[in-house]
Structure 1
Amino acid sequence: MRKLSFTKALFALMLVLLLALAACSKETEGEKPKDSGSTDTEATDDSGEEEEADDGLYSIEDFSPDTTNEGEAIEGGTLNFGLVSDTAFEGTLNWNFYGGDPDAQILNWFDESLIQFDKDYVMSNEGAATYEVSEDGRTFTFTIKDNVNWHDGEPVTAEDWLFAHEVIGDPDYDGPRYGSDFTNIEGMEEYHAGKADTISGIEVVDDKTLKITYKEATPSLLTGSVWTYPLAKHIFKDIPVAEMSASPEVREHPIGFGPFKVESIVPGESVVMTKNEDYWQGEPALDKVVVQVINPNTVVQAIETGKVDLVDSFPTDQYPENADLSNVEYLGMIDLSYSYIGFKLGTWDKENNVVKPNPDAKMGNKKLRQAMWHAVDNEQVGKKFYHGLRWNATTLIPPSHPVYHDETNPGREYDPEKAKQLLDEAGYKDTNGDGLREDPDGEELVINFASMSGGDTAEPLAKYYIQAWEQVGLKVQLLDGRLQEFNTFYERVGNGGNDDPAVDVYAGAWGVGYDVNPAGLYGHDAMFNFARYESEKNTELLEAGVSEAAFDVEKRQEIYNEWQEFMVEEVPVFPTLYRSLLVPVNNRVQNYSLSVDYNGRYKIAVTQEEPMVAE
């Protein structure tokens, strides 16, 4: 049978994606016509705020991702952006090195990807660079637009883009990016191993043109696995790779080519940015953006008083009591993320950049992990703690990717009797009559649980999980007897390749990005695979999901449905809640959006000098 060319395969892929997404929209949005960038707001009162349903629950389907604020914008002005966190941001302010979402929220204001994506998470030619693909789908030719410059006036070049790949591929690189997305580039593995001085698959054609050849054409190349963030070579070239992430050029005076440029930083607390008049899309409407950390316990007050105009995300548990704030408009969408419980099953081999399974791991018994999922009622957690704005999660591909999320898979439903049965079968029994189970060797079983601080629900939610596990006979205790702040939590769980042996179980959250491929979180060579899980079947399915056969959307759906089912069986982690992204935006702010294809921060404007205050 004659194979489709890459171009025809891409067209077929996009057609099926569009049809699938359209079908999903019809099922959830009703009959009311609307433009493609909005969602239904049928349950609204005259103020535009969503009315609470009779059962006290809300739905993310009732929110729009786009501001509708009207009025005449003033010239200039300062926007105050709140970074909701109970801890300082880490301050690794470069896309090539950062590891946590707080830093990414800051980066979004002053730096950006050279390639933009459309609303279906597919690369477009609307960004600072355009691309063409060879017929076999393996070679991408990128062209950076002529007016794209770093904040110091130097042009962004193909050499900068190559340099980013060389740094990430360097053996001394200490960030989280190197993995299957990079090893798929021709010559990258040889370069990483020190067997070659250059990456044979990357060619600088001229100052603005870069050509990258991949070993295999995969559908993920179109949806996020291509690395699209350059690194300013004229600034970093003389810094040893091992010292880059901690250098002043990253921590104190970072550079980008986005709409705003960093003016000053108070480490961990705030960043002041001024407009980049030379921005490639045009001069920004605002004069200044101030990013500041806002504690979850005071975020409502900060919004009410106008201390901040908007935040990166609003604690959904606080929404019901603040749904009618008069000075803001709430934007919302299904978040590209989910919460989960993970089990430590190994460590990270820093020398070889691979997972190193531990056959004697405390959480190594599959039935123990299955039982701990059955023991918790995440449907009620979503309702009681988050009023329906987070909801029971079933698989590790969330509904933010409706084409590949298997909505027919129920995951493991709440069933404490099933949990007890599984524990009995696995040999975890109460041998001394204290109501708590010993391990199969008859030894005391104590499971250390790492959970993050932050917000009003953090502590009661952690307590709920501990109590639910106790109800089936498991003794689970908080690591160190307390919640862990964000940076400490991820450092102990595995960021940077660190694995604290005291951690047995942990409660985390993943942002899944545009590319549906889960290998970046669960692959054997993914540093973000904090569970340190590896199996032949897992690797086989993940590789199949980015194979040539996976260009057929139906085939790729079959592969990822099988992977989702497999992970429900193996349970190296289990998803707990799918999440809504809610963002209150002050009524003076115009042209802000949460949409995937939004790249208009330079258009953000305000209608008055000072933020509006709640009445």
Structure 2
Amino acid sequence: MKKVKTISKVISALAISSLLLSACSTGNKTSTKPAAKVDASAFPLKMKNDNKSIQGGILKYGLISDTAFEGKLNANFFESSPDSDVLQFFDEQLLGTDENYMYDQSGAATYELSNDNKTITIKIKDNVNWSNGDPVTAEDLEYTYLVVGNKDYTSVRYDSLMQQVVGMADYHAGKTDKISGIKIIDPKTISITFTQANPSLLTGLNTNPMPKKYLANVPIAKLVSSDQIRKHPIGFGPFKIKNIVPGESVEFVANKDYWKGAPKLDGVLLKVVNPTVATASLENGNLDVADFPAEQIDKARSLKNIEILGKVDLAYDYIGFKLGHYDAKKELNVMDNPKFQDKRVREAMAYAIDTKEIGDKMYRGLRFAANTVIPPSFPKYWDKDVKGFTKDVNKAKKLLDEAGYKDTNGDGFREDPNGKPFVINFLAKSGSDIAQPLAQLYIQSWIAIGLNAQLVDGRLAEMNSFYDRVEKDDPKVDVFAGAWGTGSDPDPSGLWSKDAMFNYQRWTNAENDTLLQEGTSPKAFDSKYRVDVYNKWQQLIHDEVPMIPTLYRYATVGVNKRVKGWDLTNGKNYLPDVSLTSENPVK
């Protein structure tokens, strides 16, 4: 019996090694020597192109995804990054931001904050119009709050800040048809009053208006599936939609009446491109701009016709545990799944993984080991002193022993404390050349400490199916590998509060509730106080392990050398200024 266990462990170690090596292969050539890390910090933020711009032209943009975009093309309904990619061209929020993601006066509206920091007054500029010609009004922003706060709204923007609007609780409960804290001062001016001062007013306030007149005949419950959102959405951004092939491509034309002036391009052609051909599409000029997977970095760096831009992204990868379910009626997460309630099991699974080696070898340094769930793209709030989890197989095994998970039948896998089989059903999504070896590496890492882990249904899930199963708390899913784009507001409540739909772990904790409230309390206008709160919160997440933060990432973009003005600088509204310097792509 002991031989079975020993052989199993040896095979696991060899499998992990071979998976790392196979993930380091380039194209069809497989090397037994891992390629060197890339110094991603050396990538510039801005496109360098001093050539003279041509008049107009069509930019070809690659939405890199192995699946169709969902088509929830409104800022108050989208839930996936592909839809966000589409939205950036034709819609925007009213308030602009500076390089620290703080609202400033550079956007389509200006604002004033009251002396008590409870009321924000937003004034929309006179020349801001929807792409159908209707003016963007104060009622359009009020309509956003009426939609998102309504019981019939089924998406995820009804967050803690939204709930703090005066009168929102009564409106959400159906006691009134108005929100008392929202006042229309004139057709272009609106004030919103909150129950308490909250520093996220200056970073996380929803200033994404919805075209009330255009959507007037659609019931709130049917908005997300309506043609006005899916097939013929309108915005007030630099481009407007000419044609959509659902899930596949979008043709944009310049919005000549854009509030900042007509964009320099005639239009943009966005098309979904599989990650496996991202760099090939850049090489042959089929795309002017595209993100590309980390495993294609060598190919991308060899191309003479593109510039690579990069920065640390507002994102992190993670392994999440399904600890319960979301109660839609009560609008609360309920932590009632006993399978992973013992945090020592969660800790053991974290210590089994070598995230540094994954980042260095699989992602060539374009992703790097995460220590906490606030990424370093928030330098003020990221706590570098949280130790994170580094691979320690002996510690992992000891934790499982202490928790009573032992191999009682000699099959090489641990049973639970009651002697019953303990199987971990792991959900991972497809999307790149290394998706399969990465998922297998996680599985083999857990097998190496005696845990019987396997892929749900024996295969990877495509993105839309993956998130559908995670959101609906599919009972087949025990553990899942996800990723979050955090947005520009440092407040993590939207992902972690007890009532957050995005709290996919369904983790609840009294100290978590307290710290999240303190982080958005009036005291948190004191930056030092807020930093201290979020440091404590990050340590709590590490200690309780509702998820394992695995990797931070660099956003890397390949840009054809005929493109001018592409800019990754934080807070910069650069799309209207993008131009081309030749009729045809540089090849």
Which of the five TM-score ranges fits, normalised by the shorter chain? over 0.9
Conserved? CA contact 1:395–1:411, under 8 Å: yes
Listed as ranges, the matches of 1:173-572 within 5 Å are 173-224=153-204, 226-311=205-290, 313-358=291-336, 360-494=337-471, 498-572=472-546
Counterpart position of 2:562: 588
Counterpart position of 1:32: none
Conserved? CA contact 1:77–1:287, under 8 Å: yes
- 1:240-270 deviation digits (Å, cap 9, x = unpaired): 1110000000110110011100011111100
Q: 3-state DSSP class of the match of 1:323? A: helix
Question: How far does residue 600 in structure 1 lie from its aligned partner after superposition?
Answer: 2.1
Question: How far does residue 60 in structure 1 lie from its aligned partner after superposition?
Answer: 2.5
Q: 3-state DSSP class of the match of 2:243? A: strand
Question: How far does residue 407 in structure 1 lie from its aligned partner after superposition?
Answer: 0.6
Residue 112 of structure 1 pairs with residue 92 of structure 2: yes
Conserved? CA contact 1:340–1:573, under 8 Å: yes
| Structure 1 range deviating more: 596-605 or 285-294 | 596-605
Conserved? CA contact 1:338–1:509, under 8 Å: yes
Question: How far does residue 361 in structure 1 lie from its aligned partner after superposition?
Answer: 2.9
Normalising by structure 2, we get a TM-score of: 0.93
Give the gaps of 5 or more residues in structure 2.
1-33
Question: How far does residue 181 in structure 1 lie from its aligned partner after superposition?
Answer: 1.6
Q: 3-state DSSP class of the match of 1:399? A: coil
Number of aligned residue pairs: 554
Could you tell me which amino acid in structure 1 is paired with residue 53 of structure 2? Answer: A
Conserved? CA contact 1:344–1:361, under 8 Å: no
Counterpart position of 1:39: none
Conserved? CA contact 1:217–1:548, under 8 Å: yes
Could you tell me which amino acid in structure 1 is paired with residue 580 of structure 2? Answer: V
Question: How far does residue 320 in structure 1 lie from its aligned partner after superposition?
Answer: 2.2
Question: How far does residue 96 in structure 1 lie from its aligned partner after superposition?
Answer: 1.1
Conserved? CA contact 1:332–1:581, under 8 Å: yes
Residue 578 of structure 1 pairs with residue 572 of structure 2: no
Normalising by structure 1, we get a TM-score of: 0.89
Question: How far does residue 55 in structure 1 lie from its aligned partner after superposition?
Answer: 7.8
| Structure 1 range deviating more: 595-604 or 337-346 | 595-604
Could you tell me which amino acid in structure 2 is paired with residue 351 of structure 1? Answer: K
Distance 2:245 2:114 in 1: 46
Distance 1:176 1:219 in 2: 21
Q: 3-state DSSP class of the match of 2:310? A: strand
Question: How far does residue 395 in structure 1 lie from its aligned partner after superposition?
Answer: 0.5
Question: How far does residue 321 in structure 1 lie from its aligned partner after superposition?
Answer: 3.2
Could you tell me which amino acid in structure 2 is paired with residue 235 of structure 1? Answer: Y
Give the root-mean-square deviation of aligned CA atoms: 1.0
Could you tell me which amino acid in structure 2 is paired with residue 470 of structure 1? Answer: I
Conserved? CA contact 2:137–2:188, under 8 Å: yes
Counterpart position of 2:48: 68
Q: Which of 92, 96, 100 lines up with 2:72 in the alignment?
A: 92
Could you tell me which amino acid in structure 1 is paired with residue 478 of structure 2? Answer: D
Could you tell me which amino acid in structure 2 is paired with residue 329 of structure 1? Answer: E
- 1:293-337 deviation digits (Å, cap 9, x = unpaired): 0101111110000101001x2211210233121000000000000
- 1:389-432 deviation digits (Å, cap 9, x = unpaired): 11110011110001111111111221111110110111111000
Could you tell me which amino acid in structure 1 is paired with residue 229 of structure 2? Answer: V
Could you tell me which amino acid in structure 2 is paired with residue 555 of structure 1? Answer: Y
Counterpart position of 1:102: 82
Q: 3-state DSSP class of the match of 2:240? A: strand
Q: 3-state DSSP class of the match of 2:339? A: coil
Could you tell me which amino acid in structure 1 is paired with residue 222 of structure 2? Answer: E
Conserved? CA contact 2:279–2:299, under 8 Å: no
Q: 3-state DSSP class of the match of 1:308? A: coil
Conserved? CA contact 2:241–2:251, under 8 Å: yes
Distance 1:600 1:387 in 2: 29
Distance 2:577 2:522 in 1: 40
- 1:356-381 deviation digits (Å, cap 9, x = unpaired): 221x4312221110110000000000
- 1:150-172 deviation digits (Å, cap 9, x = unpaired): 00100000000000110000100
Question: How far does residue 59 in structure 1 lie from its aligned partner after superposition?
Answer: 2.4
| Structure 1 range deviating more: 231-240 or 371-380 | 231-240
Q: Sequence identity of aligned pairs in percent?
A: 48
- 1:452-486 deviation digits (Å, cap 9, x = unpaired): 10111100000000000000000111011000101
Could you tell me which amino acid in structure 1 is paired with residue 158 of structure 2? Answer: Y
Distance 1:353 1:65 in 2: 41
Conserved? CA contact 2:35–2:364, under 8 Å: no
Distance 2:38 2:124 in 1: 44
Distance 1:471 1:127 in 2: 53
- 1:113-141 deviation digits (Å, cap 9, x = unpaired): 10111001110110000000000000000
Conserved? CA contact 2:348–2:399, under 8 Å: yes
Listed as ranges, the matches of 1:30-45 within 5 Å are none
Conserved? CA contact 2:168–2:179, under 8 Å: yes
Q: Which of 27, 35, 56 lines up with 2:36 in the alignment?
A: 56
Conserved? CA contact 1:397–1:405, under 8 Å: yes
- 1:530-588 deviation digits (Å, cap 9, x = unpaired): 00111111101111111122222221111111111111111111110010000010000
Counterpart position of 1:122: 102
Could you tell me which amino acid in structure 1 is paired with residue 246 of structure 2? Answer: P
Distance 1:430 1:69 in 2: 62
**Structure 1 residue ranges (4+ consecutive) displaced by more than 4 angstroms after TM superposition:** none
